[in-house]
């Protein structure tokens, strides 16, 4: 049984290996593959409005954050980022976290959700997000410097929540 | 004769009234209309990679910045923002700064330029930027909370530089 709940400080020891592994792959997030633990913590749990974990039997299998995508007059649109540990892929955790995040975003008062830079190579995630109601509103040529594939296109995804 | 050059510390006294006036209008930038001087300085001259001024006879009539639009694997794409003082509109200063920024961006090693949140109501600027080679790659419904018009659509503009 997978539970999704708000992250607490003690969760970081289990969150960090997931964040580190995903950043190091350099195929989905723009943050540098060598982003260190302190920077990662600032990015993943300090800067966001809220951070969550997906837990099964005390083990953290995935994590996501929600934050305003822009300041002031753009702050009614949120951004979210999701990660699933390599060992826990294929269990529907990404889908469950995305669904959870859309509900939480509404509770937090956001009016829309936006993903800013989705590497076009990330085909599995893009299909999932379209399933969850997102639309590709545009594609930025060569905007993502994929660690192994070099410059690839990146999509912007968006959905209104209300 | 209008000269465009890098901003120096002593320019801030003339830059701040322009930034303040434009932010306060709440019709083009996402930053809150009540952004104060310290925050504005951080946004306009401290955070960016470089800040420039358009000067005529010692008077600063416009200003712009360039910065990476994303960290790490997205940092080869830059973002830029431009402002012209209310008194100096219609003199082609926005166009001159945009042209200058595209050249500077190449010199600084950027491969593309992106504007993330261009209010659809900002018709004059959008036409100018299309003239300067930008393409509207997508439109975000209700993504900009215009101070007087409420939630309006916002465009994302992009152009490859190389």
Q: Which pLDDT belongs to residue A162?
A: 82
Q: Which two tokens stand for residue A64?
A: 């996501």
* B30 to A70: CB separation less than 8 angstroms, yes or no: yes
Instruction: Indicate whether A122 pLDDT > 90.
Output: yes
User: Is any Cβ of chain B less than 8 angstroms from the Cβ of A42?
Assistant: no
Given an 8 Å threshold on Cβ–Cβ distance, is B76 in contact with A31? Answer: no
Residue A1's pLDDT band (boundaries 50, 70, 90)? confident
Partner-chain residue, chosen from A30, A142, A160, that has the shortest CB–CB distance to B72: A30
Distance CA(B81)–CA(A104), nearest Å, equals: 32
A141 with B147: Cβ contact below 8 A: no
For residue range A3-61, list pLDDT tens digits in order: 999 999 999 999 999 999 999 999 999 999 999 999 999 999 999 999 999 999 999 99
- Give contacts of B147 with chain A, Cβ < 8 Å: 73
Summarize pLDDT for B16-66 with one digit per residue, the tens. Answer: 999 999 999 999 999 999 999 999 999 999 999 999 999 999 999 999 999
The whole-model pTM stands at 0.97
Residue A105 DSSP SS3? helix
Give the whole-angstrom CA distance, residue A100 versus residue A64.
Answer: 10
Distance CA B34, CA A75 (A): 14
Report whether pLDDT(A69) > 90. yes
Are A62 and A97 contacting, i.e. CB atoms less than 8 angstroms apart?
Answer: yes
CB environment B4-15: b (16+ within 10 A), e (fewer): beebeeebbebb
pLDDT tens, position by position, A82-106: 999 999 999 999 999 999 999 999 9
Give the minimum alpha-carbon distance from A110 to chain B in angstroms, rounded to a whole number.
Answer: 11
Contact criterion met (CB < 8 Å) for A30 and B75: yes
Does the CA dihedral A50-B138-B134-B75 come out positive or negative?
positive
pLDDT band of residue A152 (cuts 50, 70, 90) is: very high
Q: What is the pLDDT of residues B106-155, one digit of tens each?
A: 999 999 999 999 999 999 999 999 999 999 999 999 999 999 999 999 99
Interface of B with A in 73-102 (CB under 8 A): 73-77
Chain B residues closer than 8 Å to A136 by CB:
138
* Chain position carrying tokens 């976290």: A97
Is A156 in CB contact (< 8 Å) with chain B? Answer: yes
Output the CA–CA distances (angstroms, integers) from residue A126 to A156, B11, B160, in the order listed: 10, 46, 24
Q: What pLDDT is recorded for position B72?
A: 98
pLDDT at B39: 98
Cβ of A141: how many Cβ atoms within 10 Å?
17
Q: Quick one: pLDDT at residue A129?
A: 97
Band (pLDDT 50/70/90 cuts) for residue A150 is very high
> H-type helices in chain A, by residue range?
12-25, 37-41, 93-107, 123-131
pLDDT at B1 over 90: no
Mean pLDDT of B85-110: 96
What is the model's pLDDT at position B133?
98
| Predicted pLDDT of residue A30 | 98
Nearest to A143 among B72, B77, B141 (CB): B77
Size of interface A-B (CB pairs under 8 A): 115
pLDDT at B162: 82
CB A140, CB B158: distance < 8 Å: yes
Q: How confident is the model at residue A132 (pLDDT cuts 50, 70, 90)?
A: very high
Nearest CB partner across the interface for B73, out of A26, A111, A141: A26
CA distance B1 to chain A (A): 36
Q: Please enumerate in sequence order all residues whose Cβ is within 8 A of that of A154, keeping only pairs 6 or more positions apart, or say none.
A: A117, A118, A119, A120, A139, A140, A143, A144, B74
Pairing of strands B112-119, B77-84: parallel
């Amino acid at each position: 049984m997978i539970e999704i709940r708000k992250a607490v400080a003690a969760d970081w020891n289990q969150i960090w290996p997931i964040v580190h592994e995903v950043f190091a792959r350099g195929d989905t997030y723009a943050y540098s593959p060598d982003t260190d633990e302190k920077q990662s913590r600032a990015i993943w749990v300090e800067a966001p409005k809220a951070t969550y974990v997906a837990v099964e039997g005390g083990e953290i299998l995935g994590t996501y954050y929600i934050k305003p995508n822009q300041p002031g007059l753009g702050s009614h649109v949120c951004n979210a980022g999701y990660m699933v540990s390599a060992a826990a892929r294929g269990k529907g955790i990404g889908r469950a976290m995305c669904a959870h995040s859309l509900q939480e975003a509404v509770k937090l008062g956001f009016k829309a959700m936006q993903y800013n830079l989705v590497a076009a190579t990330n085909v599995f995630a893009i299909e999932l997000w379209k399933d969850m109601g997102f639309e590709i509103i545009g594609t930025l040529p060569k905007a993502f410097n994929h660690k192994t594939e070099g410059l690839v296109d990146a999509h912007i995804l968006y959905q209104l929540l209300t």
